[in-house]
Amino acid sequence: MGKTIIVSNRLPVSVKKVDGKLEYYPSVGGLATGLSSYTQSGSGLWIGWPGIPSEELTEKDRRDITRELRKHRCFPVFLDKALLNDFYNGYSNDVLWPLLHTLPVERTETDRLWKAYKNANALFADAVLHQSKPGNTIWVHDYQLLLVPELLRIQRPKDKIGFFLHIPFPEAKTIHTSKHAAKLLRGVLGADLVGLHTTNYTENFLSACRQLNIGVVGPKQVALSYRTVRVADFPMGIDYDKFSSATKGRSVSAEYQKLLWKYRGRKVILAIDRLDPTKGLAERLKAYQTLLKENPALHSKVTFVMLAMPSRTEIPAYIRLKAQVEKLVKTINKTYGNAHWEPVEYMFQTLPFAEFSALYRRADVAFIAPIRDGMNLVAKEYLASKPQQDGILVLSETAGAAQELKDAIMVNPRKPRTLVQGLTDALTMPPSELKRRVKSMQKHLETHTVDKWADTFMDTLRKPVSVPLPNIAGSLRGNSLQSLFEDYRGARRRLIILDYDGVLQALARRPHEAKPSHETIDLLQKLTSDPANNVIIISGRDRIDMTEWFGRLPLTMAAEHGALFRKHGQKKWVKTTYANREWRKKVDTLFRYFALETPGAFIEQKEWCIAWHYRGASPFYAQKNLVGIRRLLKPIIARYGLQIREGHKVLEVIPGDVSKGTIIREWLIHNHDFVLCIGDDQTDEVMFREVPPGSYSVKVGPGRTAAAYRLPSVSSVHKLLNQLSS
């Protein structure tokens, strides 16, 4: 394996001058942990800014810093105060940070800042080129260095270059408000692999490329004129062992005992975050204020500990936020506190590891409700620090971690009432339910660590990019069928993913006519009776039909192409989209007009989708009016970030972040030694592309497909599943 170069704005080791002497200390953050194995080896190197402006350094200081950092496998990029102010404080944090978090950008004159951003990115790229050789693997990190991959690609067309964005990527309509949007995206696409935290961010990135006409956008990739760039989600984890084992250490145990005494007889609600407008700290304080107002019985029985870590203290928006937060804390304590009880304990500082680790362990509730957050590792650190599973996580659904930590109490920071209700639910949840939820989330975090995140990204980067070719599915018979039977019998954990219409049940003229037959229900009962089988039915049907038909069976259901799902053993349906529904009236009006113009066509309204069915219509009128529908839908689709899904004689409009491929990832992240996925139309193709190599993907009926195999009909599907379940 050749040399690996890590590039980020800050190095894992920072430098400061105290009384004229250089001092070195570790930088804060989990990134260094996950990448240490790539830089601490003899062939690794980390390039970044050492944390001190170049004006404060003599030439000798620079030489000493460079020599000392070499011992840590690091190399410094020196930046002066003016460049730091315009590149880092200016363009990176005043422009890109709010833009990518879907917040207002207050800076209007950005030309000078943009020039500084380009110059700084060029300095980082030059450092990489001088410290590496052709054939090295280069991994660039985060929003401060979006242009670096393209700058490297120009000079090193054959190097393996990866890029990872540690903050959210917004919807296309948001990124397009920047006049530099196309240049930023092209900068990132200098990489071979672009990584983001979640599926939503990945799809937003691809949508932005599509709407700016950058390359040919396909599933998880952007095809440029001379190469293909992969775009995928890699949820970042934490050093789970570090936090879980720390609770047993002497220093953490001592701090924990102090906290037990300090907060005796009280529930502790904990918030730990940087003091940043995206973190929703003021919103959390207001929710707590409402909780105390509405629940006098909680007075003197609960304490809100807020640790707000200093961040970008010289930026006006952060100065205003600090004043707002401190005013709220003062008001709450004055209104509800007394001589023996301070409702909010506020700290504007950083704490040593042992102290905040003890806080994690002591807290009954972690109140993590950012307005927008790429991932939020604090939520994961809290869960790892609960050896007795005696706490609960209240988590914003707009944090990237929400896509993994499904057993947290979800809240919406834009809806204050949900924050209050989330705290209420957390404080009243039975201990057995707390334990169940936390244990489930810990099990996931224990295996999806920061090391695994880094390894998975690097393994993907090193793999050759597969050029998409037309797929010719083979008939599932003979040797291939025998192999399927053998793999099924030898498997201990099987995942079986089934579409409904056209797979389990024959297509009907109207949706309500396609109820499952007794044969279908019997077949599913046999399949699900095997404890090794994890069965998922994923359909365009609404949840009412799905619940009525399959609600009593021990299986998982996903409705409306994955907009909603209900796990096996649970009664509650969970939504996977947070899109608004302002578009529905426009689409409904359009569909109704064309339904009147197309005899036999009709509309089906669902919770998140609207479908235009034309199975009973004349082919002539249907095809003629479909042209008009598609043309008139284009501006609506672009404005609201929607997508069109076309199945058998049906055209559906759904939110852009909904996909069958997205929903099955919820189960694909778990280890299964046998995967069978069966579908029949275009809406299922994304599932076929999503399943891992070695899976059995099967298309029912004719037509081009990404599936590996083909079956001719519903009856052949029944025959196959009956053979497996017998």
> What tens digit of pLDDT does each residue of 387-415 get?
999 999 999 999 999 988 989 999 999 99
- Comparing CA positions, the residue from 76, 56, 58, 77 lying closest to residue 66 is 76
Rounded to an integer, the average pLDDT of 689-711 is: 84
Q: Is the pLDDT confidence value at 138 over 90?
A: yes
Rounded to an integer, the average pLDDT of 643-665 is: 85
104 CB contacts (<8 Å, ≥6 apart)? 98
Higher pLDDT: 197 or 693? It is 197
What is the per-residue pLDDT for 306? 97
What is the per-residue pLDDT for 541? 87
What is the per-residue pLDDT for 443? 92
Lookup: tokens for 251: 């220093």
Element (H, E) at 630: helix 619-640
What is the per-residue pLDDT for 469? 41
Whole-angstrom distance, CA of residue 453 vs CA of residue 77: 26
What is the per-residue pLDDT for 223? 83
What is the per-residue pLDDT for 110? 83
Q: How confident is the model at residue 711 (pLDDT cuts 50, 70, 90)?
A: very high
Lookup: tokens for 494: 């099987």
Q: Is the pLDDT confidence value at 32 over 80?
A: no
SS3 397: coil
Q: How many CA within 13 A on the CB side of residue 336?
A: 26
Span 559-605, pLDDT tens digits: 998 889 999 888 899 988 888 888 999 999 999 999 888 888 899 99
Q: What domains does the chain contain, in order, with CATH numbers? A: 4-233 (3.40.50.2000), 240-446 (3.40.50.2000), 472-576+658-725 (3.40.50.1000), 584-655 (3.30.70.1020)
Least confident of 32-36, 253-257, 311-315, 495-499: 32-36
Catalytic residue, from 159, 273, 499, 501: name it. Answer: 499
Told to judge if 499 belongs to the known catalytic residues of this protein, a careful annotator would answer: yes
SS3 685: helix
Least confident of 54-58, 176-180, 338-342, 687-691: 687-691
What is the percent of the chain with per-residue pLDDT over 70, rounded to a whole number? 96
DSSP state, residue 341:
B
Q: Is the pLDDT confidence value at 470 over 50?
A: no
Sort residue 170 into left (φ over 0), alpha (ψ -120 to 50) or beta. beta
Q: What is the mean pLDDT of the chain?
A: 90
Total-model pTM: 0.67
Q: Is the pLDDT confidence value at 227 over 90?
A: no
DSSP letter string, 420-459: HHHHHHHHH--HHHHHHHHHHHHHHHHHS-HHHHHHHHHH
Sort residue 73 into left (φ over 0), alpha (ψ -120 to 50) or beta. left
Residue type, 348: F
Give the angle subtended at the CA of 275 by the CAs of 123 and 172, to the nearest 5°: 60
Q: How confident is the model at residue 649 (pLDDT cuts 50, 70, 90)?
A: confident
